[in-house]
Amino acid sequence: MDHFPIDPAFALHRGGKMEVSATVPVRDAEDLSLAYTPGVAKICTAIAEQPALVHDYTWKSKVVAVVTDGTAVLGLGDIGPEASLPVMEGKAILFKQFGGVDAVPIALACTDVDEIVETVVRLAPSFGGVNLEDISAPRCFEIERKLQERVDIPVFHDDQHGTAVVTLAALRNAARLTGRALGELRAVISGAGAAGVAIAKILTEAGIGDVAVTDRGGVVHAGREDLTSVKRELASYTNRAALTGSLEEALDGADVFIGVSGGTVSEAAVATMKEGSFIFAMANPTPEIHPQVAHKYAAVVATGRSDFPNQINNVLAFPGIFAGALQVRASRITEGMKLAAAEALAAVVADELSADNIILSPFDERVAPAVTAAVAAAARVEGVARR
CATH architecture under which domain 159-387 falls: 3-Layer(aba) Sandwich (3.40)
**Residue among 36, 42, 96, 237 flagged as catalytic:** 36
In Å, how far from its chain's centre is CA 279?
20
Q: Does 4 score more than 70 pLDDT? A: no
* CA 163 – CA 157 distance, rounded (Å): 10
Burial class (CB in 10 A: 0-12, 13-18, 19+), 139: middle
Write the pLDDT tens digit of every residue in 121-154.
999 999 999 999 999 989 999 999 999 999 999 9
**Residue 2 confidence (pLDDT) above 80:** no
What letter does residue 73 receive in the DSSP assignment? Answer: B
- Give the CA-trace dihedral at 163, 168, 174, 176, to 10 degrees: -160
Residues in the chain: 387
Confidence at residue 3, expressed as pLDDT on a 0 to 100 scale:
59
- Break the chain down into helix, strand, coil percent, rounded to 5: 45, 15, 40
**Fold match between 8-153 and 159-387?**
yes
pLDDT in tens, 79-93: 999 999 999 999 999
Alpha-carbon Rg for the chain, nearest whole angstrom, is 22
Question: Cα(first)–Cα(last) distance of the chain, in Å?
Answer: 52
**239 labelled ligand-binding:** no
Domain-wise residue ranges, the chain: 8-153, 159-387
Helix boundaries (H) for the chain:
8-13, 29-35, 39-49, 54-57, 81-99, 113-123, 139-150, 158-177, 194-206, 229-237, 247-251, 267-270, 291-294, 318-327, 335-348, 367-382
255 in a known ligand binding site: no
Residue 23 pLDDT > 70, yes or no? yes
Q: Could you tell me the maximum CA-CA distance found in the chain, to the nearest angstrom?
A: 75
Contact yes or no for 128/62 (Cβ under 8 A): yes
Given a contact cutoff of 8 angstroms between Cβ atoms, the answer to whether 246 and 269 are in contact is no
Confidence (pLDDT) at 5: 61
User: Known binder of ligand: residue 133?
Assistant: yes
Residue 116 has pLDDT above 70, yes or no: yes
pLDDT value at 1 more than 50: no
Q: Is 310 annotated as a binding-site member?
A: no
For 91, phi then psi, to 5°, come to -60, -40
- 350 has a pLDDT exceeding 90: no
Q: Which CATH architecture has domain 8-153?
A: 3-Layer(aba) Sandwich (3.40)
Question: Is residue 36 annotated as a catalytic residue, yes or no?
Answer: yes
pLDDT category at 201 given cuts 50, 70, 90 is very high
Catalytic residue among 60, 62, 91, 231: 91
**Mind listing the pLDDT tens digit for each residue in 280-314?**
999 988 999 999 999 999 999 999 999 999 999 99
Q: Rounded to whole angstroms, how far apart are CA atoms 265 and 267?
A: 7
Q: Is 131 annotated as a binding residue?
A: no
Q: How far is CA 78 from CA 97, 224, 287, 371, in A?
A: 27, 28, 21, 32
pLDDT of 99 above 60 = yes
**Rounded average pLDDT over 258-282:** 96
d(CA 188, CA 21): 46
